[in-house]
C-alpha cells in the first residue's frame, strides 16, 4: 500500500548501481504482502440494530492471513464464516482467513464476513465506515490495511436472505 520512494545514493558506475538496486529490491518485494481491497461495503442498519456485516474482496501478492479487524464505528469486530449446522446456516468467529498469493478471497453474504458489533449509531446508505485490517505475512510480521467501506442500504443488491436471518 505504501510506495517506497527513498533516495538511494550508491557509489560506482551505472551498471553496478543498477545491480545493487535490484539486489536491494528483491528481498523487499518478497517481504511485504501487498493486499488489494476491492469493493468494500457495509450493510446498512435499522435504528435499533447493533450488528451488521462488512464485505469486500481481498487479494494479496504473497501468502498471508487476515487475522483481525477494527473499526471506530463498532465496539467489537470479528471475522466470521458461515457454516451449516443441522441444516441451518450459522455464523461463527474464525481466528484467521488464509489469503493465498494472487487469489481473490471474497468476503460476502453467505460466506466470510467482517462482523461489526456494538454499533453506536444507525448506518445509512452513503455513510463511510473505516475499517482497519491486520494481515499477518508468511514471515510472521503483521501490517495493517486501511479500508473505507461504503454503507449500502439494507435492500440493496447483495443483501441475501441467509444473512438477514442472522441472530447474535
Ligand atoms: Cu457474522
CA 68, chain centre distance (Å): 9
Average model confidence (pLDDT) across the chain = 83
- Mean local confidence (pLDDT), 35-59: 96
Calculate how far, in angstroms, residue 114's C-alpha sits from the geometric centre of ligand 1.
7
Place of cell 529490491: 25
Report the C-alpha gap between 142 and 160 in whole angstroms: 33
Nearest to 124 by CA among 148, 149, 152: 152
**pLDDT at residue 164, as a whole number:** 44
Look at residue 142 and tell me whether its pLDDT is greater than 70.
Answer: yes
Q: Are 28 and 21 in contact (CB under 8 A)?
A: no
**pLDDT at residue 72, as a whole number:** 97
- For the chain, what's the residue count? 168
Calculate how far, in angstroms, residue 112's C-alpha sits from the geometric centre of ligand 1.
8
- Mean local confidence (pLDDT), 151-162: 62
- Mean local confidence (pLDDT), 11-31: 51
Calculate how far, in angstroms, residue 142's C-alpha sits from the geometric centre of ligand 1.
24
- Mean local confidence (pLDDT), 134-162: 81
From start to end of 94-152, where are the E strands?
Answer: 97-99, 104-107, 113-119, 128-137, 142-152
Calculate how far, in angstroms, residue 25's C-alpha sits from the geometric centre of ligand 1.
40
Using pLDDT thresholds of 50, 70 and 90, give the confidence band for residue 2: very low
Using pLDDT thresholds of 50, 70 and 90, give the confidence band for residue 27: very low
Using pLDDT thresholds of 50, 70 and 90, give the confidence band for residue 168: very low
Answer whether 0.85 is exceeded by the pTM: no
Q: Are 135 and 143 in contact (CB under 8 A)?
A: yes
Calculate how far, in angstroms, residue 4's C-alpha sits from the geometric centre of ligand 1.
36
**pLDDT at residue 12, as a whole number:** 53
Calculate how far, in angstroms, residue 80's C-alpha sits from the geometric centre of ligand 1.
5
Calculate how far, in angstroms, residue 51's C-alpha sits from the geometric centre of ligand 1.
8
Q: Mind listing the pLDDT tens digit for each residue in 89-140?
A: 999 999 999 999 999 999 999 999 999 999 989 999 999 999 999 999 988 8
**pLDDT at residue 17, as a whole number:** 57
Torsion over CA: 144, 80, 77, 155 (sign): positive
Using pLDDT thresholds of 50, 70 and 90, give the confidence band for residue 33: confident
**pLDDT at residue 160, as a whole number:** 47
Calculate how far, in angstroms, residue 89's C-alpha sits from the geometric centre of ligand 1.
11
Q: Are 108 and 98 in contact (CB under 8 A)?
A: no
Calculate how far, in angstroms, residue 8's C-alpha sits from the geometric centre of ligand 1.
47
Amino acid at each position: 500500500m505504501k510506495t517506497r520512494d527513498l533516495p538511494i545514493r550508491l557509489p560506482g558506475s551505472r551498471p553496478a548501481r543498477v545491480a545493487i538496486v535490484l539486489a536491494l529490491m528483491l528481498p523487499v518485494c518478497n517481504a511485504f504482502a501487498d493486499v488489494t481491497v476491492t469493493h468494500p461495503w457495509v450493510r446498512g442498519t435499522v435504528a435499533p440494530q447493533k450488528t451488521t456485516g462488512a464485505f469486500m474482496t481481498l487479494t494479496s501478492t504473497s501468502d498471508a492471513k487476515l487475522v483481525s479487524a477494527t473499526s471506530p464505528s463498532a465496539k467489537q469486530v470479528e471475522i466470521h464464516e458461515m457454516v451449516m449446522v443441522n441444516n441451518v446456516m450459522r455464523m461463527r468467529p474464525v481466528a484467521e482467513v488464509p489469503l493465498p498469493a494472487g487469489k481473490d478471497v471474497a468476503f460476502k453474504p453467505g460466506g466470510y464476513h467482517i462482523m461489526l458489533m456494538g454499533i453506536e449509531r444507525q448506518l445509512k446508505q452513503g455513510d463511510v465506515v473505516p475499517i482497519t485490517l491486520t494481515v499477518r505475512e508468511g514471515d510472521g510480521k503483521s501490517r495493517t490495511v486501511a479500508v473505507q467501506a461504503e454503507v449500502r442500504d439494507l435492500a440493496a443488491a447483495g443483501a441475501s436472505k441467509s444473512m438477514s436471518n442472522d441472530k447474535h
